[in-house]
Chains A and B, each alone.
Chain A
Amino acid sequence: MSAGTEVNPPARDRRGAWRVLVGLLRRPRSAFGLIVIVAMVAAAVLAPWIMPYDPNDQMFDGLSLEGAPLPPSAKFWLGTDLLGRDLFSRLVLGTQTSLIIGVLANGIAVVLGATVGITAGYFGGWVGGILMRFTDLMMAFPALLLAIVLAAIFKPSLLIVALVIAMVNWVQMARVIYTETRSLAQRDFIEVQRAMGASTVRILGRHILPHLVYSIIVFGTLGISTTVLLEATLSYLGVGVQPPTPSWGNIIFENQTYFANAPWLVFFPGVAIVLLALSFNLLGDVLRDTLDPKLKGRH
């Protein structure tokens, strides 16, 4: 227990950040998550150099004589898809898609959720009331149906898919930040700041926000996992990322009719989705335990 030692979170403490990183690497779960995430980011950035083939090239020797996709082999490491394209190359390029949407959608959701949460929590009143009732309302929406409807309204592009996912995913963050801001706003040290005539902007920026940083990091990390899963699901249903741009979800969408004969076309993209989502979940879970003792799940 470190009761009473931490009043202000060391938000700008570089050594603190370093210590957190070392702590994460020491725990098997978060170390695994970090390694997978770093590897996937590397794959996404270095995609042009990693991909053995052009991911959109429908190769003549990418199909069997009967026109069936080829299983994994020395030539095509993860096999080929229904159109004779190299699955490994498409998966690598799909990593870009997943990460871009994951970071973009989740970034928007975090900013939106935190803004709603802080506004409602700090100012309260009728503005806060309306914002939180709206949040309740969004909580009651079947998220996937809502995302499907939104994606069907707007022609899906990467940006639109990211926006749609953000529209569905900000709610969780808003809830958490609202609760924390509310309890912070009633604490004595904020009262003192107000009495001393500090401006609202200063109170929010210097005294409220720093206390929320940990929660934002934790739920932001867990949120990427939700985002990755939602993108995959939308793309699988055909209303997410549109072919020929490869995404792990739409690779399965394009090939699922053939899965009984070519299971690798579902298995490998599926593993990629699970690995990425799992890594952010593991990382977020460990971060929650190490960064914020208040949120700590009992272990």
Chain B
Amino acid sequence: MWGYLIRRIGESLLILLGISLVTFILLYLVPADPARQIAGRSATAETVANIRAQLGLDQPFHIQYFRYLGNLLQGDLGRSYLQRTEVSELIAARMPATLLLMGAAIVAELIMGLTIGAVAALKRNSAVDQSLMVFSFVTISAPQFVVGILLLYVFAVQLGWFPIGGYGTFAHLVLPALTIGLLGTGWYSRMMRSSMIDVLAQDYVRTARAKGLGKLRIILRHVAPNAILPIIAMIGIDIGLFMSGIVVVESVFGWPGIGQLAWQAIQRVDIPIIMGVTLVSAFFIVLGNLLADLIAPLVDPRIKLK
């Protein structure tokens, strides 16, 4: 167990190192010149050169990278070129909003996904099952900006149930969480359906039926808990899906999280912020995958650690 744990953590760290390198290479290639941007349009060539030297942008690639990596290890993500603030502070300030959205989205998609999957499995091959599965296909085929804007139109503009965007109350949270949650609902409902069908075919379910237990009791006590177990581990992997969605969803809803931060930074080519958000997102994805691998054998002892 411990050997496995240490090896998996080591692998995760290597992946993070690789990601920091790839991100750095990509952003090194960005043709826009940050020094010129900070200096402004009317600056002299000398001013621009000074700023470039100040930022260390005149150094060779590997020196820039190692300096960056060294700072990274101390939790220093660099300074924003334009806002003159520490990137780590900017991200930390916006992290609570993103985490709140993540939590709400995961709750939403688990409730919707597990319910839909369970109903579909119990009504297997019926018209209900067919329509629910078509619905799950639609949710995974709909881009989040379309879902977000349409939800905004119906529930905020037309019905006025929720605010049009922003942050602060529970009402602000509902639509963005639902938008992200719908995509996950598609995946969870399909996993839940096949997991339920597996469990329903197990001997212990037949035994429970033979004992004359009520249908609802069998489903709630014997089937559902066992069907949900393998899905719990998927939540970790789900974080990757989530991290890809926040840029779009936070921009659509004006949600002040790290996705919106990244989006604003991309438009201003504020490289340290883009790199910071990419790294933090990647960190969450790697952490999520690690957790998924560690949780899977805990919830289901039949899965052996390799």
Contact = CB atoms under 8 A, between A and B. Distances in A.
A189 interface: no
Contacts of A249: 143, 145
- A: contact size bracket: 35 or more
Interface in A84-140: 133-134, 136-137, 139-140
Interface string A136-160: 1101111111101110110000000
A144 to B, nearest CB: 4
A197 interface: no
Most chain-B CB neighbours within 10 Å: which of A139, A225, A239? A139
Given A141-B282, A142-B282, A236 B143 contact: yes
Contact of B149 (A144, A229, A256): A256
Nearest to A263: B153
A153 B31 contact: yes
Interface stretch (A49-57, A179-187, A212-220, A271-279): A271-279
A144 B31 CA distance: 20
Interface of B: 11, 14-16, 18-19, 22-23, 26-27, 29-31, 125, 134, 137-138, 140-146, 149-150, 152-153, 157, 190, 194, 197-198, 240, 243-245, 247-248, 251, 262-263, 266, 269, 274, 277-278, 281-282, 285-286, 289
7 contacts: A137-B22, A142-B240, A232-B146, A249-B145, A267-B150, A298-B194, A299-B125
Where chain A touches its partner, the secondary structure class is helix
A145 B15 CA distance: 17
A29 B281 CA distance: 36
A274 B140 contact: no
A142 B26 CA distance: 14
B247 A260 contact: no
B137 A141 contact: no
Given A136-B11, A252-B145, 10 more contacts: A137-B18, A142-B285, A145-B243, A148-B266, A237-B251, A273-B143, A274-B142, A285-B137, A298-B194, A298-B197
B149 A270 contact: yes
Contacts of A60: none
Contact of A297 (B30, B125, B137, B194): B194
A290 to B, nearest CB: 17
